[in-house]
Amino acid sequence: MRVQTRSIAAVLAGVIVAGAAILHGLTSPGLATAQLGDSTPAYAIPDPDAFYRPPADLAQLQPGDVVRVRSVDTRVYADSMGWQLAFRSTNSQGDPILGVTTVLVPRGVTKPPVLSYQAIVNALGSQCAPSRGLFNLEQVEAPGLLIPLQRGWAVNVPDHLGPTNAYGAARLGGMVTLDSVRAVKNATELGLVSSPVALAGYSGGGMASGWAAALQPTYAPELDIVGVVQGGVPADLEQMADLIGNEPHPGFGLGFAAAIGLEREYPDRFRMSQQLNERGLSLRNFLSNECRRSILFHGVFHNAGVLTRSNGWLNNGDARDVLRENSLRHFEGVPEVSVYMWHGRLDPLTPYDGIEEIAQKYCSAGVQLTFVTYDIAEHLIPAAAGFGDAYEYLAARFRGEPAPSTC
């Protein structure tokens, strides 16, 4: 396999350094106080808006069926019209759930191509989901959506963590993403029924996009997706848990939040809460309604050892299985659509070896893959540097041009 490489002249000088100390007894309003040994997951306070409530007949609907539609004010996104769709999707146990997505359509463009953009959602609270974050200054990528809109593309932004904000549940993100595309096609009032569709995302959004691409042949074979661009993909959650969880780490808050999210999605298998000590339960309760900044700040340089009652709880077989089931590196399925993938070789959060293994697997399976390595870069630089070429790649797919390959 031939890998296309790029060098970056400047590398970020440092990582987040904060001296936050976790105080005992922190709680979030509306959460019951957990007891030691309690295995009940810590769920976020539900969004009070009735738009997010599942209907009684949800199980009778098919994945991607639209439950309700509303228009939203999108004047901050240039000259666009906006809608939000509530639709039927599926969780990791195969049960019906209600998904939500936000769609921006450029005014004056007839049948624009659709970019399904899976945003970075390093968060657990309902107010942090893209359908809220696009309008409350929480979604840091929001200004970047002006770029595809200016190209004349419609943009679909699903709440890919699902209704419980199950951060870390990557397979779930792939299914919700695909069902959001189905919903966009089913909502005739949007005028996008016959529009070509592509997927895009970076980091956690790249993970949702990557899973959607890999699941599409079996989960949504009727969808015609013309291309996928995915960067900085967390390829191996098991490897990341060992990297972030065992020793003090600046990104520990994200790892701990992912464990909270996985317990929400797999309450019978990923039983973290029963292993937490009082300090761990206090932090868990506090973070369960928080967004990215707070999670990073309050978790910085912690580790699993100071929050749990027994060392090595992540070595539990069920927990390991859940991590592997949500790791694209270990998923046997491969995309049938062409893929553009990019990654920093020096990435300390999402190690390069996992994504390199995925690239090799895709090439061996005949996937039309363009794999770009940023040699002197970590996780943040490629996020900004990679989308220009990635969007040019998708523009060519929208024009119907054959996909290149670096395999």
- Nearest alpha carbon to residue 255 among 348, 321, 366: 348
Question: Residue ranges of the domains in the chain?
Answer: 4-11+48-236+325-398
Cα separation, 88 vs 187, in Å, equals: 13
Distances (CA, A) of 254 to 31, 99, 123, 258, 364: 21, 23, 8, 6, 33
Residue 263 makes CB contacts below 8 A (sequence gap 6+) with 41, 42, 270, 271, 272, 273
HSE-up of residue 360 (Cα within 13 Å, Cβ side): 8
- Nearest alpha carbon to residue 105 among 138, 133, 71, 131: 71
Task: Express as a percent the part of the chain with pLDDT over 70.
Answer: 89
Residue 53 makes CB contacts below 8 A (sequence gap 6+) with 98
Q: Which amino acid is it at 376?
A: I
The arrangement of strands across the sheet holding 66-72 comes to 4-6, 369-374, 339-344, 225-231, 197-202, 114-118, 154-158, 96-106, 80-90, 66-72
- Residues β-bridged to residue 229: 200, 340
- Show the tokens assigned to 325: 């089931």
DSSP assignments along 109-144, one per residue = -SS--EEEEE------SGGGSHHHHTTTT--TTGGG
Q: What is the pLDDT of residues 352-368, one digit of tens each?
A: 999 999 999 999 999 99
CB 384 within 8 A of CB 347: no
Q: What CATH number labels 4-11+48-236+325-398?
A: 3.40.50.1820
- Show the tokens assigned to 306: 């100071």
Beta strands in 176-255 (DSSP E): 197-202, 225-231
Task: List the pLDDT tens digit at each of the 407 positions of the chain.
Answer: 655 654 333 323 222 222 332 322 333 333 445 566 667 899 999 999 999 999 999 999 999 999 999 999 998 898 899 999 999 999 999 999 999 999 999 999 999 999 999 999 999 999 999 999 999 989 989 999 999 999 999 999 999 999 999 999 999 999 999 999 999 999 999 999 999 999 999 999 999 999 999 999 999 999 999 999 999 999 999 999 888 777 777 889 999 999 999 999 999 999 999 889 999 999 999 999 999 999 999 988 888 888 988 766 667 789 999 999 999 999 999 999 999 999 999 998 899 999 999 999 999 999 999 999 999 889 989 998 999 999 999 999 999 999 999 99
